[in-house]
Amino acid sequence: MDSSMHEFKIISKHRMYDQYLVKLRTCIVLLDEQVLWRVGEAETNSIGGIINHIMVHVRRNAAKLIDPTITYKQGMEDSFIPSMQNKEQLMDEVEEAFSSFCAAILAKFTRITEVAVI
């Protein structure tokens, strides 16, 4: 693997896990349940709905790293639908989604490195 791809993967993992996840955790912790799931004017999405949508992106990207041949037949519009989960459940799902992304990057990086060494 060339050094630019290695650098990209290191930076991506750092930004996703050490920056974006930290900000999502803070948001979830600071907001009460009502504010987290409140839908604004003109049917805008709730903060919790937006977080769910972000998790769909993160999970899809993790899966695509592991299997680049994956295709998706449906969009992600349903991920904005308000959830019945509480803050702790949402936090657990956020942690799992971001951890799976980091694991996928590490697995992809390890496989590429092993192939390059052989």
Is residue 117 over pLDDT 50?
no
Can you give the pTM of this predicted structure?
A: 0.80
pLDDT > 90 in the chain, percent: 42
Residue range 33-43: mean pLDDT, rounded:
84
How high does pLDDT run on average in the chain?
A: 84
Indicate the SS3 state at residue 82: coil
Is residue 114 over pLDDT 90?
no
pLDDT tens, position by position, 40-64 = 787 778 889 889 889 988 998 899 9
The answer to whether 118 and 110 are in contact (CB under 8 A) is no
> In this structure, what token pair is assigned to residue 7?
């650098």
Q: What is the pLDDT of residue 108?
A: 82
Place of tokens 């900000």: 23
Place of tokens 């750092």: 14
* Least reliable range by pLDDT among 10-19, 23-32, 36-45, 59-68: 36-45
3 compared with 105, residue with greater pLDDT: 105
Is residue 118 over pLDDT 50?
no
Of the candidates 54, 62, 52, 59, the residue with the CA atom closest to the CA atom of residue 9:
62
